[in-house]
Amino acid sequence: MTEPLLKVENLMQHFPVSRSYTVKAVNGVSFSIYPGETYGLVGESGSGKTTVGRSVIRLYQPTAGIITFEGRTISGKLDRETRELLRRDMQMIFQDPMASLNPRKKVADIIGEGLDIHKMVPSKTERAALIGHMLQKVGLSPEHAARYPHQFSGGQRQRVGIARALIMNPKLIIADECISALDVSIQAQVVNLMKDIQDETGCAYLFIAHDLSMVKYISDRIGVLHLGYMVESGSKEEIFSHPIHPYTRSLLSAIPHPNPEIEKRRTALVYDYATSGIDYAKGTDHLIDGTHHVLATPEELKRWL
Amino acid sequence: MSENKTILDIRNLDISFKTHAGVVHAIRGVNLDLCKGETVAIVGESGSGKSVTMKAAMGLLDSNASVNSGEILYTYTNDQGVEKTVDLLKMSKKELRQHINGKRIAMVFQDPMTSLDPTMTIGKQIMESMFLHRKLSKDAAKARALELLQLVGITDAEKRFRHYPHQLSGGMRQRVVIAIALSADPDILICDEPTTALDVTIQAKILELIMDIQRKMKLSVIYITHDLGVVAKVADYVNVMYAGKIVEVGNVNEIFFEPKHPYTWGLLSAMPDMDTDDDRLYSIPGSPPNLLHEPKGDAFAARNQFAMTIDEKEEPPMFQVSRTHSAATWLLHPDAPKVEMPKELEARLARARKEVEKYL
């Protein structure tokens, strides 16, 4: 197997709120992403999935754990060279397409900002050409470069966000809930666009979402997070056809079924951590088969299988 | 539509908004009825006018809106036990606030954080409309509020009663919003994207909760949503809305198993399907029309791969398919060429039907 592009080992991210209280958002999460693949990270709000994404791109200083990207360790103090590499080769697409675009800048400057900072283009004409090309790639037209974000619809704005991430030619794009603010029919357009771009450029995605049905469409491998622990991980098939952890099962059962006769008779499985008697901190990682991992104590695993 | 009595009847509603860019014709002739104890869903993309329709019924339209024509007839039994029918559009804001809003027609909004008052305890917010509409005493109101909190599945009601909205999680807040909506015993509950801001797991629980309460309190519910999964779970009747018009209406099985309008085909195809390994999701090409420039002919024609010449000239009327099912597309005209729904969708629907047989 090839070397992973990104390797996260035992990542912990704690936020001290006061002297006596610390929010433990991420507690020992490990996964790796290979070049050109899509890794889906799912979980409910508060599960720490966004925090993982933000720690990886180093918007936070990780409390503990090792993150390796392209063979370099990026979890400690960054030297100048590593930081520049990280800022260039790893990009992020955010959830809210309105809040993540500067309303006072034209689309051309939003997309081109990275080029300017890293001095990647020698002349203005080349910059404009590259931006025009990028706009076309995401399904907008080069004339849109002179407009402001408010002149676009939600789906178009998210395309601008994608263009901004793509123009740096990144190896890894972190997509944080990038479709949950969009309408169903527009979601499909954006997901298809992301897939096309991956086929063309070979970039890898860390796709963070709470909507398992979309995650299934785009991901190769999936990790399920709950309360800062990776409770189950594996390939798409392993997670969807043989879910083992009760939390994964409840997530899967919550997906609405587009079939009224069945949906009306079905109730979603309930999973309540507080009453389930499961303590994530006691669980250890168990390999089921292939790449399928579950966090559990031996007794729990016996019960679930 | 069904044997039950119609309690809300929207006829030929037409609304436009004056903006500085020009007049936006947001609602272009909407008909809809709701019968007692039933659930009607309005499905459409953002900007299709689904929320505006319901806001009109609640008298919540913005000041730049003008109702050009139409009526919203609401039938209810008043405090003296006499049955009355009123046109909600003819009532003044004051009358609506005193007699209809909250008391008889209540609404649950999308975002539970912005629809709660952050400076009031949730108990106080639940009791507010009981004092106003039902003239309950303080003790009676408190007892009723605790009862409601338990009904919406909040444990520790006594403690939560004194909490502020920021002390609750998103799912809890939405439960409180539902409790507030139910506090004055309304006949109709309008849910405007009640679960869009929530996680999938909580979404399922909230929908099951609303269904359960509906059975217990014999409510009529209108759902506004863009998520067909939600519709499949809760609705009896479905109205598919596009560019300010209802393009297809039918009961839930007719819409999901025998859709007739190409837009409905598109919406159904765009839903991620858990049972196939297709690499690509179907997406409806293009985007909805800008109603600042009203489209000529069928508003969906530009995105419709089955569009015919007539679609660009004249708007299709509603064609009746069955007693409860009708759709506004020229494809249903007797002279139209025979067009079948896309193969992938047909295969999917066949699979869905088979699943039902297996399941039952």
Q: Are B173 and B116 in contact (CB under 8 A)?
A: yes
In a domain, B284, yes or no: yes
- Closest chain A residue to B209, measured at CA: A267
**Res A1: pLDDT:** 61
Would the CB atoms of A256 and B227 count as touching at under 8 Å?
A: yes
* Whether complex ipTM tops 0.85: no
Q: Are B190 and B41 in contact (CB under 8 A)?
A: no
Q: In Å, how far from its chain's centre is CA B139?
A: 35
- Closest chain B residue to A217, measured at CA: B279
Q: What is the pLDDT along chain A (305 residues), one digit of tens a residue?
A: 688 999 999 999 999 988 888 889 999 999 999 999 999 999 887 788 889 999 999 999 999 999 999 999 998 888 999 999 999 999 999 888 888 999 999 999 999 999 999 988 889 999 999 999 999 888 888 888 999 998 888 888 999 999 999 999 999 999 998 887 777 777 888 888 899 999 999 999 999 988 788 888 889 999 999 999 999 999 998 999 899 999 999 888 888 777 888 887 777 788 888 888 888 888 888 888 888 999 988 888 888 88
Would the CB atoms of A183 and B46 count as touching at under 8 Å?
A: yes
Kindly report the three-state secondary structure assignment for every residue of chain B: CCCCCEEEEEEEEEEEEEECCEEEEEEEEEEEEEECCCEEEEECCCCCCHHHHHHHHHCCCCCCEEEEEEEEEEEEECCCCCEEEEEHHHCCHHHHHHHHECCCEEEECCCCCCCCCCCCCHHHHHHHHHHHHHCCCHHHHHHHHHHHHHHCCCCCHHHHCCCCHHHCCHHHHHHHHHHHHHCCCCCEEEEECCCCCCCHHHHHHHHHHHHHHHHHHCCEEEEEECCHHHHHHHCCEEEEEECCEEEEEEEHHHHHHCCCCHHHHHHHHHCCCCCCCCCCCCCCCCCCCCCCCCCCCCCCHHHCCCCCHHHHHCCCCCEECCCCCEECCHHHCCCCCCCCCCHHHHHHHHHHHHHHHHHC
| Chain A residues whose beta carbon lies within 8 Å of the beta carbon of residue B205 | 268, 270
**How many structural domains is chain B composed of?**
1
In a domain, B102, yes or no: no
In a domain, B75, yes or no: no
Task: Give the distance from residue A302's alpha carbon to the nearest chain B alpha carbon, in angstroms.
Answer: 25
Task: Give the distance from residue B151's alpha carbon to the nearest chain A alpha carbon, in angstroms.
Answer: 18
In a domain, B355, yes or no: yes
Task: Give the distance from residue A258's alpha carbon to the nearest chain B alpha carbon, in angstroms.
Answer: 5
**Res A198: pLDDT:** 93
Q: Using CB atoms, pick whichever of B46, B199, B284 lies closest to residue A210.
A: B199
Task: Give the distance from residue B110's alpha carbon to the nearest chain A alpha carbon, in angstroms.
Answer: 13
Give the B window 151-180 contacts with A, CB below 8 Å. 169-170
Give the B window 318-337 contacts with A, CB below 8 Å. none
Would the CB atoms of B280 and A192 count as touching at under 8 Å?
A: yes
Task: Give the distance from residue B267's alpha carbon to the nearest chain A alpha carbon, in angstroms.
Answer: 7
**Res B276: pLDDT:** 66
Task: Give the distance from residue A250's alpha carbon to the nearest chain B alpha carbon, in angstroms.
Answer: 7
The DSSP 8-state label assigned to residue A5 in this structure reads: S
Query: Which ranges of chain B have pLDDT less than 70?
Result: 1-3, 274-279, 360
3 state DSSP class of A229? strand
- Rounded Cα distance between A11 and A76, Å, is 12
Would the CB atoms of B45 and A183 count as touching at under 8 Å?
A: yes
- The reply to whether B303 touches chain A by the CB within 8 Å rule is no
pLDDT digits over A182-208, tens only? 777 778 888 888 999 999 999 999 999
- The reply to whether A265 touches chain B by the CB within 8 Å rule is yes
In a domain, B349, yes or no: yes
Strand-pair category, A72-73 with B105-108: unpaired
**Res A284: pLDDT:** 87
Would the CB atoms of A184 and B228 count as touching at under 8 Å?
A: yes
In a domain, B250, yes or no: no
- Closest chain A residue to B46, measured at CA: A183
- Closest chain B residue to A253, measured at CA: B201
Task: Give the distance from residue A162's alpha carbon to the nearest chain B alpha carbon, in angstroms.
Answer: 18
Q: What are the CB-based long-range contacts (under 8 Å, 24+) for A116-123?
A: A117/A87, A118/A84, A118/A87, A118/A88, A118/A168, A120/A168
The pair of structure tokens assigned to B249 is 């209406």
Cα atoms in the Cβ-side hemisphere of radius 13 Å centred on A17: 6
Q: Using CB atoms, pick whichever of A45, A191, A267 lies closest to residue B281.
A: A191
Cα atoms in the Cβ-side hemisphere of radius 13 Å centred on A120: 20
Q: Which domains, from first to last, does chain A contain? A: 6-304 (3.40.50.300)
Would the CB atoms of A263 and B233 count as touching at under 8 Å?
A: yes
In a domain, B299, yes or no: yes
Q: Are B246 and B31 in contact (CB under 8 A)?
A: yes
In a domain, B346, yes or no: yes
Q: Are B245 and B299 in contact (CB under 8 A)?
A: yes
| Chain B residues whose beta carbon lies within 8 Å of the beta carbon of residue A240 | 274
pLDDT digits over B169-214, tens only? 888 899 999 999 999 889 999 999 888 777 777 888 888 889 988 9
Helical axes B200-217 vs A246-253, angle rounded to 10°: 60
- Rounded Cα distance between B252 and B239, Å, is 9
- The reply to whether B227 touches chain A by the CB within 8 Å rule is yes
- pTM (2 d.p.): 0.84
Substitution target from B155, B169, B233, B344 for chain A, most A beta carbons within 10 A: B233
**Res A174: pLDDT:** 95
For residue B353, give its domain range. Answer: 259-359
Q: Using CB atoms, pick whichever of A44, A155, A265 lies closest to residue B201.
A: A44
Name the one residue in this structure whose structure tokens are 């390796």: A68
